[in-house]
Amino acid sequence: MDKVKCVIVLGAQCGLNDRNEMDLAPHTKMRARAAGIMYQRGLAEEFILSGGHNFGVRYDRWLSTPVFGTPKSDRKPDFSVEAKNQAHQWPPEAALIGHFMMANYGVPWKAMFQEEDSYTTKDNAKKCKTILEDSGITEVGLLSQLFHLGRPKGSAITEFREELGNIKIIPIPAEDLLVMESPEWIQKICEYYSAPKGDKLWAVAKIRQLLTEGKSLVEMLTKTVYVVRKHITGARTGHEDYPEQFRTQEEAQTLLTTKQAKYQQTVEDYIDEGSAITEGRRYEIVPLEVPI
């Protein structure tokens, strides 16, 4: 893994554990550990810890309670002004993650800038943009779990690239760093992904293979796009994809319809002229997996 001067660490659930102590949820702790490992190994110099006051907004104060809006919870996130004001009675995610990194990995406070006003991944991106605007930084690492970086809807990579514009985003899966600390993490990570994460069931066998071989899970950060494919028969046979990529099949349908109509007109023109048609064409919409 190459060194990155500045790394954004995305916050997540924190709360009271079964000993009534303020703690990080297991998945939040994975991110904090990964950031600590980066610092200890000289892979990062400074961090932006991004995560606000989310108690009662995104989740309850007890870690045993599922995050609001997830399949296991019967509550939805509450972004009302009242909920946000009440949440300020509790520490923000950024501060709790910072304490963990300092206590467990010796990361000094001067190396950690805390962004404490965000409630969602989109908020994280907007607030970090403000921090980075006048910094002169041209690239920044984005540290979170694989599922958060590349989930089908609202992936962290997509949100940050849309907001940060010309600043290069380097995705850093926390799982890559955890395995550097101990190979025992491979089994823990595979067990973690045995159930869907981020609205997606991840290929556990692929995760195990990459981590065992010392490769990055960045390879798994892909998204599905749709392209129009042209099949050719006759004098030359084969197929080719048009370069335009679409997020949905419906969006791709417009291009397909246009290409079909144009080809049909060409056929009719040839017939009118009495010319021979040397090849046939058929169009279809196909899904492709491409890097995020």
pLDDT over threshold 90, residue 179: yes
What domains are defined for the chain?
A: 4-220 (3.40.50.620), 224-291 (no CATH)
pLDDT over threshold 90, residue 122: yes
Q: What is the pLDDT, as a whole number, of residue 271?
A: 83
CB 41 within 8 A of CB 35: no
Q: What is the pLDDT, as a whole number, of residue 24?
A: 97
Q: Distance between CA 153 and CA 175 in Å, rounded?
A: 21
pLDDT over threshold 90, residue 57: yes
pLDDT over threshold 80, residue 41: yes
Least confident piece of the model among 104-118, 195-209, 243-257, 265-279 = 265-279
Phi, psi angles (nearest 5°) of residue 5: -65, -50
The overall average pLDDT reported for the chain is: 93
Q: What is the pLDDT, as a whole number, of residue 92?
A: 97
Q: What is the pLDDT, as a whole number, of residue 277?
A: 74
Average pLDDT over residues 269-281: 80
Average pLDDT over residues 161-183: 95
pLDDT over threshold 90, residue 269: no
Rounded to the nearest 5 percent, the helix, strand and coil shares of the chain are: 40, 25, 35
How would residue 223 be classed by pLDDT, with cut points 50, 70 and 90? Answer: confident
How would residue 71 be classed by pLDDT, with cut points 50, 70 and 90? Answer: confident
**DSSP classification of residue 165:** T
Q: What is the pLDDT, as a whole number, of residue 20?
A: 94
Contacts with 82 (C-beta within 8 Å, 6 or more apart), sequence order: none
Q: Distance between CA 262 and CA 40 in Å, rounded?
A: 61
Q: Distance between CA 58 and CA 60 in Å, rounded?
A: 7
Average pLDDT over residues 175-196: 96
Average pLDDT over residues 259-267: 89
Q: Distance between CA 229 and CA 107 in Å, rounded?
A: 52
Q: Distance between CA 101 and CA 185 in Å, rounded?
A: 18
How would residue 219 be classed by pLDDT, with cut points 50, 70 and 90? Answer: very high
Phi, psi angles (nearest 5°) of residue 201: -95, 115
pLDDT over threshold 90, residue 273: no
Q: Distance between CA 156 and CA 158 in Å, rounded?
A: 5
Q: Is the pTM higher than 0.75?
A: yes
pLDDT over threshold 90, residue 247: no
Average pLDDT over residues 240-263: 92
Q: What is the pLDDT, as a whole number, of residue 142?
A: 97
